[in-house]
Structure 1
Amino acid sequence: MSTRLACVVFDAIELRSVARFWAELLGWEVLMDRPGEVDVAASDPDGLDVALTFLPARRSKSAKNRIHLDLSSRSLDHQRVQVDRALSLGARRLDIGQGAVPWAVLADPEGNEFCVLEPREQYVDTGAVAAIVVDTENPQRLAEFWSTAAGWPVTHDSARYAGIRSATGQGPWLEFLRTPEALGECGRLHLDLIAFPTDDPVVEAARLRAAGALPMNPDTPPANTPALVLADPETNEFCLLREASG
């Protein structure tokens, strides 16, 4: 039994405009647009990119998000093109104290931080999103938890930085970066997991709790409840979704 990483969820005030920004920037498509939810994903049905979901924000953004996306580039010229494209779509440059670094730090139209990386060998085959990055006090602990949750092996870990990735070697990394300052509120991005069709989400929730997840709503929601809300060991909330019945 296991779960898989389904999507990165953005809480947004203007969810359609933010979804369009990310779709155009990544070269992805809006796959679903309905009241209260917009889904964006790569057009390749066989790709292993993690989708983006945009939901109505429960509160305004007031602090740096704990989760952000790193975008890949093929060359320094391509990096400059990516940055210029992001700015033309409504992004802005951001100073979060990064100093002189080879990557560009930007914010999307609602202030969500992201980076456009310089070319790096480890990201040559990831697709548009190189990594989903999580600020953490303990990279090793979170990497171990999310390895259990996503079913991805830990590929590298140190006191400062740890990462996991699909065993296929495709798609983005999920990385955990030690943050020197104290972690604040979780912010407006979170991760969603989904149980495989043959697995019971309640059983999977128990497995995740045994690995360190914290319950955030009743252990056994009604059958028609679409998601169970949990939190990882550092209180980052995530949802365990039910597989849609066919």
Structure 2
Amino acid sequence: MGTGAITSYVDVAQLVLYAFWAFFAGLVYYLVRENHREGYPDMDSGTGRGVITGWPVPDAKTYKLADGHEHVVPKAEPSQADIAAEPAHAWTGAPLVPTGNPLLAGVGPGSWTERADRVDTDGDGGVRILPLRLVPDFDVAHQDRDPRGLPVVGADGVEAGTVVDLWVDTPENLFRYLEVELPGGARKLLPINFVNFKRDAVKVKAILGSQFADVPTTKHPEQVTMLEEEKICAYYGAGTLYAEPSRQEPLL
């Protein structure tokens, strides 16, 4: 027998190869199951309930989050009640067509994730996103244009309101939202990603001036939950397609 051979037909290299095959097969099995822990399978189109039983969906696991909350996955979840849409055709998998206000339908570019309805926190457990009026240590850089006091103009050129404050992500030192006061006194959050700063105005191409009135509001005037952030950003995202009927037409 040669060096390393256990018998006349089995040697150490062959055993290592078999062990590698077994390990790799187990790794693939584990990754496939973990990959199906969230978002699989899709909602049952017939019942509207989540179907999470059977291979390769793993057993439920509880994750303990840093803020003290727990997150269990997978778990059966009903279809989102806030989605106002219906299938465009009778067959399964047909695209959804918004019903009612398309900016609030929760489909297409206006889709949003069912995040926790509580504020996001920093490493010390404090509220992460706050208006400048509550955090005096933050301000607009002196070389930048302070948008407070500027009018907010929609895609149709109609003035929607006035910027009264900015909301800052304190751990990241980034502005996340502009706080816009409408003529009636209501205040709405405007994600900074949808803003085009001009010398004399803040312009928004995503929605029209009149559509600011339906932007989802926050439960607390000086805090925004993660779920509220999803719905607010989704509203402006939906406007990129549904703000005007012409946006749904072919470019050519």
TM range (shorter): under 0.3
The answer to which structure has the higher strand fraction is 1
After TM superposition, the score normalised by the length of structure 2 is 0.25
The answer to which structure has the higher helix fraction is 2
Larger radius of gyration: 2
